Amino acid sequence: MAVNKKILITGGAGFIGSHLVRRFVNNYSNYHIYNLDVLNYAGNLENLKDIEHKDHYTFLRGDITNEVYINSIFNAYKFDAVIHLAAESHVDRSIKNPLGFAKTNILGTMVLLNAFVSLWKNDWKGKRFYQISTDEVYGSLGATGLFKETTPYNPNSPYSASKASSDHFVRAFGETYVMPYVISNCSNNYGPNQFPEKLIPLFINNIINKKPLPVYGDGNYTRDWLYVKDHAMAIDLVFHRGKNHEIYNIGGFNEYKNIDLVKLLCKQMDKKLGRDFGTSEKLITYVKDRPGHDLRYAIDASKINNELGWAPSLTFEAGLSKTIDWYLDNKAWLENVTSGDHMNYYTNQYADI
């Protein structure tokens, strides 16, 4: 089929980005998908081995903060749309390196916005900038309530503040330069290909290796978990059918306290690994809390559900089981990414255990 749209996906070698790139390349042969990624510790082209040979897919290695490079690729390829995921994404790393997060997440987004506006400011027809954001921009909930699209931004970590700031710039470019944009704010994702520094893949890796499971504080923090392929499906819908200048919240309708999640994970893994029930729970180790730790995130996803008909396809138990199976079947992937930078980070972050 002839290509009628050129789409730039940034951060496409990372966790969510790779699932999105695969979905778009496999489902839309009328699009040319350009995947721009700097390949930091979380970016891995192994994630995309199955689609890299396709004619309507191109990988571009580059840094979104490099203005000269970004302007050159926008001028060369004339992207009709940008789906922007490239970011530094881990809260604990942002506490150690806030400036690095500001540079990539704020400045990098502005460089992309500038290039997009310079290219299309006289003719926006059929163009769109889609900013992939997080529920963490809303700050923390107490015991009750849900984040709505109208909830004021109130970020508490350098990561969430940098994402909030970049969202504001997207909105500001929409108002100032009439740039068509859409933003979605999603809850915690989990699934295959997630770098083992975030809770679920880190704990899967530690259970496999019988290492301690470092639960921050009392473990009573709550997150709303969504399987990554359901997020990719939601992004597809928002990209194609979402309204310009609108925000869509995406969540799993699935709140879990960390400690309950960890116990469920231990139970499922004991069964899959043929270990006695209770073996993995003994690895749970309570450690010093994360500074500024948000108590609870929970999303009201009724807008995307009512307007675009989106709903998660999997229960958490089923999604978690599929995720564990993927990591057990892909031990080489896990071993590959847990050398180098990961080991340095791990030794430093979890020095107490």
Pattern of binders to ligand TYD over 220-239, x per CB under 6 A?
Answer: -x-x----------------
Q: How far is the CB of 237 from ligand NAD (least distance, A)?
A: 16
Q: How far is the CB of 161 from ligand TYD (least distance, A)?
A: 13
Q: How far is the CB of 203 from ligand TYD (least distance, A)?
A: 7
Among ligand NAD, ligand TYD, none, partner that 17 touches (CB below 5 to 8 angstroms by kind):
ligand NAD
* DSSP states of 181-229: EEEEEE-EEESTT--TTSHHHHHHHHHHTT--EEEETTS--EEEEEEHH
Whether 136 sits among the annotated catalytic residues: the reply is yes
Active-site residue, from 34, 130, 159, 190? 159
Binding flag, residue 17, ligand NAD (CB under 6 A): yes
Give whichever of 35 and 338 is closer to ligand TYD, judged by the CB atom.
338
Whether 138 sits among the annotated catalytic residues: the reply is no
Give whichever of 6 and 263 is closer to ligand TYD, judged by the CB atom.
263
Rounded CA separation 124/177 (Å):
10
Binding flag, residue 216, ligand TYD (CB under 6 A): yes
Among ligand NAD, ligand TYD, none, partner that 64 touches (CB below 5 to 8 angstroms by kind):
ligand NAD
Pattern of binders to ligand NAD over 97-136, x per CB under 6 A?
Answer: -------x---x-----------------------x-x--
Q: How far is the CB of 270 from ligand NAD (least distance, A)?
A: 26
Q: Which residues contact 286 (CB under 8 A, 6 or more apart)?
A: 215, 217, 218, 219
CB 36 within 8 A of CB 73: yes
Binding flag, residue 215, ligand TYD (CB under 6 A): yes
Query: Which of 258, 196, 188 shows the shortest CA–CA distance to 226?
Result: 188
Query: Which of 61, 59, 62, 63 shows the shortest CA–CA distance to 103?
Result: 63
- Region of 51-59, 137-145, 197-205, 331-339 interacting with ligand TYD (CB under 6 A): 197-205
Place of tokens 């989106």: 310
Pattern of binders to ligand TYD over 66-105, x per CB under 6 A?
Answer: -------------------------x--------------
Which H/E stretch holds residue 124?
Answer: none
Token pair recorded at residue 246: 């609108």
Among ligand TYD, ligand NAD, none, partner that 199 touches (CB below 5 to 8 angstroms by kind):
ligand TYD
CB 269 within 8 A of CB 204: yes
Rounded CA separation 129/109 (Å):
11
Considering only residues 160 to 189 of the shown chain, the ones binding ligand TYD according to CB under 6 A are 188
Considering only residues 56 to 95 of the shown chain, the ones binding ligand NAD according to CB under 6 A are 63-65, 85-89
Rounded CA separation 286/262 (Å):
12
Whether 159 sits among the annotated catalytic residues: the reply is yes
CB 235 within 8 A of CB 130: yes
Give whichever of 35 and 160 is closer to ligand TYD, judged by the CB atom.
160
Place of tokens 């909105």: 171
Q: Which residues contact 92 (CB under 8 A, 6 or more apart)?
A: 197, 290, 349
State the virtual CA torsion across 288, 188, 135, 252 in degrees, nearest 10: -130
3-state secondary structure 250-266: ECCCCEEEHHHHHHHHH
Region of residue 178 (phi > 0: left; psi between -120 and 50: alpha; otherwise: beta): left
Token pair recorded at residue 121: 């400011």
Among ligand TYD, ligand NAD, none, partner that 146 touches (CB below 5 to 8 angstroms by kind):
none
Binding flag, residue 189, ligand NAD (CB under 6 A): yes
Per CB under 6 A, residues contacting ligand TYD are 91, 188, 198-199, 202, 214-216, 221, 223, 258, 290
Per CB under 6 A, residues contacting ligand NAD are 10-11, 13-17, 37-40, 42-43, 63-65, 85-89, 104, 108, 132, 134, 163, 186, 188-189, 195
Residue positions annotated with a catalytic role: 135-136, 159
